[in-house]
Structure 1
Amino acid sequence: MPLGTLDRNPPPFFKQGPSAISKLMVFSAIALFLMVADTRFKIAQPIRAAIATALYPVQWVAMRPVMFVSGGADYFESLASAQRGEAAARAKLALQSQRSFQVEQLTQENERLRKLLELRARFMATSTAAEVLYDAADPYTRKIIIDKGSTHQIKAGSPVIDEGGVLGQVTRVHLLISEVTLITDREHAIPVLNARTGARSVAYGDPTLHGGSLELRFMAANADVQPGDLLTTSGVDGVYPSGLPVAKVDKVDRRADSGFARITCLPQALVGGARHVMVLGPMTDVLPARPAPEDAAPAARKGGRR
């Protein structure tokens, strides 16, 4: 066979494309571009909504066995436990009936005082009952998913509570489900009021990875805060109604090497196992509109004179 007819090209087994470093740099640049574009222009929001809507039937089917097992455990609850619950409920009912007369009297006095001082009555926000489907998959956040979405008039920014107190805030709304950020999330902050002293402060989520508590930051070392103090919403943020229970002070560490005390609080809501919640309407729907900035009026008058 003549040597000129031989194929001198390397076999396909030895052919290589771009190097691994080149591929890493290209795909890293594409990923960075997509993250920046999503942050600035929200280009992935419709895609997320479509995927969440498409996966809702799968999530619903996957949750059926869990709900069946949970319902079966509740169904086969022992008779002794049911009797203890009934006895506790009767005792609580007796205590509430004892206090009801005082409540009626205080309500009448409150109405008279408001009429006397011409104060505005407390607003009543709308509410929607919802059920927790599952926890968010992100291990670096404290979020849950509820079974109500934009079709149920749920809006971003709505407060979420349970029977114990404030649970969190709706941060993302899809068609059939919504994402709720818990008050223990490291990125969450809520203005609170000490029910004993009336002092205002801000409670932040626990910065630890798997924390289930809150922290009062930037409180002076000599601040009048004691373990057992109840913290409620102050209402100054325009997000949460005032007077809702948030947490109780657990530990107060007054360090000598710092001008601030380290204050740890335990949430009143069941942040680790809530099943049924209540989504309140956004405060922006019931609060009066904010007035225009003061410098806008002089500018308008000055422009009119010209």
Structure 2
Amino acid sequence: MPLGTVERTPPPFFKQGTPALTKLLVLSALAIVLMVVDARLRWAAPVRAGVATLLYPLQWLTLQPVRAVQWVGQHFGELQAAQTDARRARELLAQQAQRAGLVEHLAQENRELRRLLGLRERVSPSAQAAEILYALPDAYVPAVVIDRGALQGVREGSPVMDGFGVLGQVTRVYPGTSEVTLLVHHQLAIPVLNTRTGERYLAYGNGSRDEPGLSLRFVPVQTATRPGDVLVTSGIDGLYPPGLPVATVVTVAAEGSEGFAQVLAQPAARTRDALHVLVLEPAQPAPGTTAEHRP
């Protein structure tokens, strides 16, 4: 074959074309220009929306196995939690049944002992449920308004308690609503009994609803009261039934003002978060045990 007829161009396999670095620089510059134009003109938004719309069925199909696995795991987790709650509920029900039987037994013994001693039977006060409508917008008077009034048989001086303890007492009654002064009012006193020591004192509020607290006045320095003691109503005022939870002692300072110990307690009732309360039927209150009525 003549030398002049030999193909001198390189085969296509060895053709390099445009250098890779040049392609990289050109494409990078084009990408930057497109990003700047898109940031200014927002021209790519419809394109992205269209692509997202087209890809949505594929994304949905792809996520189904993951969601199925998550649903199965959540189902078995909730099933296990429900079984655990049911077991705890059965245990709690058994405990409550045992306590109810013990309480009934003690109540029966109490009735028999009172008959033997010739004492008058204690009458449990009647109560009606009520809902707290709102708190009075007075920073100096911690009080709330409930949705029961004179039409429902509510009277002034009626004790009010939530599910945790004594909340306060009714100080104003209207036809359909009543005003309840909270136990933390600084002019409201309640006779309390220390369930551990049997000591009786008067508890006064600190006047704050945000940081509620009670203080026991005229407590001797040699008192046996200690932090953690539970205070309940003593019932000697004829207003509050005996045995209602009032507070828990927090601090006891041996040296207080005027030679008495300083005892501070935390109220048992939820003075800020209570929603539903019980209004008890009051007896004739003793002088000086109710809050002073505001004009």
Task: Tell me the TM-score normalised to structure 1 length.
Answer: 0.62
CA distance in 2, matches of 1:80, 1:141: 48
Which whole-Å deviations, capped at 9, do the CAs of 1:225-256 have from their partners, x for residues lacking one? 01111111111112111111111111112227
Name the amino acid aligned to 1:118. G
For 2:135, the equivalent position in structure 1 comes to 135
Q: 1:83 to 1:181 in 2, by over 3 A?
A: farther
**Cα distance, 1:110–1:83 mapped onto 2, change above 3 Å:** same
**2:165 counterpart residue number:** 165
* Structure 2 match to 1:148: 148
Question: Is residue 113 from structure 1 mapped to residue 113 from structure 2 by the alignment?
Answer: yes
Compute the displacement of 1:105 (Å): 2.8
Aligned partner letter, 1:109:
E
* Aligned twin of 2:186: 186
2:93 maps to which residue? 93
1:102 paired to 2:90: no
C-alpha contact 1:184 1:211 (8 A) present in aligned 2: no
Cα deviation per residue 1:183-224 (whole Å; 9 max; x = unaligned)?
Answer: 111221101111111111000001458431111111112211
Partner of 2:69: none
Q: Does the residue aligned with 1:130 lie in a helix, a strand or coil?
A: strand
For the residues of structure 1 that align with 2:263 and 2:86, how far apart are their CA atoms? 38
Is residue 140–residue 209 contact of structure 1 (8 Å, CA) maintained in 2? no
Q: In 1, are the aligned partners of 2:142 and 2:209 still within 8 Å (CA)? A: no
Partners of 2:262 and 2:128 in 1: CA distance: 36
Deviation at 1:284, TM superposition (A): 3.0
Q: Who is 2:174 aligned against?
A: 174
Alpha-carbon distance in 1 for matches of 2:81, 2:258: 49
Matched residues in 1 for 2:84 and 2:215: separation?
A: 36
SS at match of 2:151: helix
Q: CA deviation at 1:87?
A: 5.6
Quick check: 101-110 or 82-91, which moved more?
82-91
State the distance in 1 between where 2:209 and 2:106 align: 45
Q: Conserved in 1, the CA contact under 8 Å of 2:142 and 2:182?
A: yes
Change (3 A) 1:269 1:218: same
Aligned match of 1:255: 255
The Cα offsets for residues 83-119 of structure 1, whole Å up to 9 and x where unpaired, read as 8766654432221122333333323322221111111
- How far apart are the structure 2 equivalents of 1:85 and 1:128? 31
- Aligned partner of residue 284 in structure 1, secondary structure: coil
Question: Once superposed, which parts of structure 1, at least 4 consecutive aligned residues long, lie more than 6 Å away?
Answer: 78-85
Task: Find the residue that maps to 2:116 and give its secondary structure.
Answer: helix
SS in 1 for 2:284: helix
How has the CA–CA distance of structure 1 residues 280 and 260 changed in structure 2, closer, same or farther, with 3 Å as cutoff? same
Q: Deviations over 1:19-60 (max 9, x none)?
A: xxxxxxxxxxxxxxxxxxxxxxxxxxxxxxxxxxxxxxxxxx
For 2:231 and 2:198, the matched residues in 1 are separated by 9
Structure 1 82/242 Cα, relative in aligned 2: closer, same or farther at 3 Å? farther
The reply on whether 1:211 has 2:177 as its aligned counterpart is no
Aligned to 1:65: none
Distance 1:279 1:128 in 2: 5
Question: TM-score of the superposition, structure 2-length normalised?
Answer: 0.64
Residue type at the aligned position of 2:211: G
Residue aligned with 1:110, SS: helix
Q: How many residue pairs are counted as aligned between the two chains?
A: 208
Inter-partner Cα distance in structure 1 for 2:139 and 2:257: 34
Q: Deviations over 1:57-99 (max 9, x none)?
A: xxxxxxxxxxxxxxxxxxxxx9999887666544322211223
CA distance in 1, matches of 2:219, 2:116: 37
CA contact (8 A) 1:131 1:146 kept: yes
Equivalence for 1:122: 122
Aligned-residue sequence identity (percent) comes to: 47
Q: For residue 283 of structure 1, give the secondary structure of its aligned residue in structure 2.
A: coil
Conservation of the 8 A alpha-carbon contact between 2:184 and 2:208? no
The CA distance in 1 between the partners of 2:168 and 2:84, in whole Å, is 31
Match of 1:235 in 2: 235
SS at match of 2:114: helix
CA contact (8 A) 2:231 2:249 kept: yes
Partner of 1:265: 265
Cα shift at 1:132: 0.5
